[in-house]
């Protein structure tokens, strides 16, 4: 889209390259469609630049969108997010400025489902611990040090059966797992049958039966601390909790206590609160815990697809067309 005077629309991004900056490899593609402006450049000349910005590309929650920023961007039309979760945005505030919002569900689901399965397998087969044994000088271990949990035939409970949850079920089916799920709305029977998943009306019955519980819900006021002391106590003492959703879906203090006292067997966490955890956090000291730094979708292809999806949404908004993945405040 070319604006009046032959200028490309201005797109605000956090930074390029470094931590929380959009990847260098995406820049040529973005530059085909937009004039890119970084937060640093914007802050240096807020008054002149602010009027020109029509879109923001939020890369891993940055820049932070607050009232002050929105007030300095009078021509802002759209904010595109580089993921599916929108819990870092005040949707009502953004909408009150007449700004549209979009996320990137198509790009996200497969790679995030892969992350969930990678954590499940790594935790079950104690990959981090055995890697450390393998690289230690002595290579001495007893069988108990490397004995894992059998995944084939085990019961997986998926909490949140949106597109990521469903892709996890597809993968788990290939591992011959017994699949349970809990979701606000039940999936169609054909969809359940296609992956061999059984609906649990209550989360409690899922927690009681599962060997692996995978959290895939969005963070909302309803899912905040969805898993607390009571829920952990419902789980089997041998069960593993896998969280690829958001740290705040779990009561982290209750989780530490449950892992320390053997209320549950293990945890594999791609998300924590905060991220990263402070160096002295008890979760970092437990042998039965694996932590990854919000890997989520982070694969070469998926991150690029996210940028493509963001561009599609931004161009639609700037052309007054429906956004392919618009997110509305609830
Ligand atoms: O898409 C998201 O919001 C993610 O956090 C993926 O990890």
Per-residue model confidence as pLDDT tens digits over 63-89: 999 999 999 999 999 999 999 999 999
Predicted ipTM of the assembly = 0.93
Instruction: Look up 309 and say whether it is catalytic.
Output: no
139, pLDDT greater than 80: no
What pLDDT digit, counting tens, does each position of 104-131 carry? 999 999 999 999 999 999 999 999 999 9
296 lines ligand 1 (CB under 6 A): yes
Judged against a pLDDT cut of 90, whether residue 14 lies above it is answered with yes
Q: Is 35 annotated as catalytic?
A: no
Q: Given this model, what pLDDT does residue 20 score? A: 83
Residue closest by Cα to atom 3 of ligand 1: 85
Please identify, by atom number, the ligand 1 atom nearest to the C-alpha of residue 104: 1
What is the reported pTM?
Answer: 0.93
User: For every residue of the chain, which 3-state class applies, written as one string?
Assistant: CCCHHHCCCEEEECCECCCCCECHHHHHHHHHHCEEEEHHHHHHCHHHHHHHEEEEEEECCECCCCHHHHHCCCCCCEEEECCCCCCCCCHHHHHHCCCEEECCHHHHHHHHHHHHHHHHHHHHCCHHHHHHHHHCCCCCCCHHHHCCCCCCCCEEEEECCCHHHHHHHHHHHHCCCEEEEECCCCCCHHHHHHHCEEECCCHHHHHHHCCEEEECCCCCCCCCCCECHHHHHHCCCCCEEEECCCHHHECHHHHHHHHHHCCCCEEEECCCCCCCCCCCCHHHHCCCEEECCCCCCCCHHHHHHHHHHHHHHHHHHHCCCCCCCECCCC
126 is catalytic: no
**Active-site position among 275, 281, 308, 326:** 275
145 CA from centroid of ligand 1 (Å) = 33
Smallest CA separation from ligand 1 atom 7, residue: 296
Region 45-57: mean pLDDT is 95
Ligand 1 centre distance from Cα of residue 81 (Å): 10
The alpha carbon of 144 and the centre of ligand 1 are apart by a number of angstroms equal to 35
Residue 160, ligand 1, Cβ within 6 A: no
């Amino acid at each position: 889209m070319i604006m009046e005077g032959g200028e490309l629309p201005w797109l605000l991004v956090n930074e390029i390259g470094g931590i929380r900056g959009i990847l260098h490899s995406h820049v040529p593609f973005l530059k085909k469609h937009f004039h890119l402006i970084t937060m640093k450049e914007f802050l240096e000349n807020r008054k002149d630049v602010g009027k020109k910005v029509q879109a923001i590309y939020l890369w891993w929650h940055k820049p932070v969108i607050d009232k002050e920023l929105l007030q300095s961007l009078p021509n802002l039309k759209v904010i595109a997010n580089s993921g599916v979760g929108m819990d870092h945005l005040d949707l009502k505030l953004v909408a009150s400025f007449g700004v549209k919002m979009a996320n990137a569900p198509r790009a996200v689901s497969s790679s995030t489902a892969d992350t969930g399965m990678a954590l499940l397998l790594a935790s079950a087969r104690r990959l981090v611990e055995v890697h450390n044994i393998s690289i230690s000088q002595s290579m001495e271990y007893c069988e108990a040090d490397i004995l894992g949990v059998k995944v084939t035939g085990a019961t997986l409970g998926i909490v949140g059966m949106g597109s990521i949850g469903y892709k996890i079920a597809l993968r788990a089916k290939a591992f011959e797992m017994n699949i349970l799920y809990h979701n606000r709305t039940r999936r169609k029977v054909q969809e359940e049958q296609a992956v061999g998943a059984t609906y649990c009306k209550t989360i409690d019955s899922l927690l009681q039966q599962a060997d692996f519980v995978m959290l895939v819900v969005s963070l909302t006021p309803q899912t905040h601390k969805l898993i607390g002391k009571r829920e952990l106590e419902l789980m089997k003492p041998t069960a593993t909790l896998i969280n690829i959703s958001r740290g705040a879906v779990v009561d982290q203090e209750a989780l530490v206590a449950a892992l320390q006292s053997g209320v549950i067997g293990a945890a594999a966490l791609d998300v924590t609160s905060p991220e990263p955890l402070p160096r002295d956090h008890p979760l970092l000291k437990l042998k039965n815990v694996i932590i990854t730094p919000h890997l989520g979708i982070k694969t070469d292809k998926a991150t690029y697809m996210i940028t493509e999806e963001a561009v599609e949404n931004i161009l639609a908004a700037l052309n007054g067309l429906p956004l392919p993945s618009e997110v509305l405040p609830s």
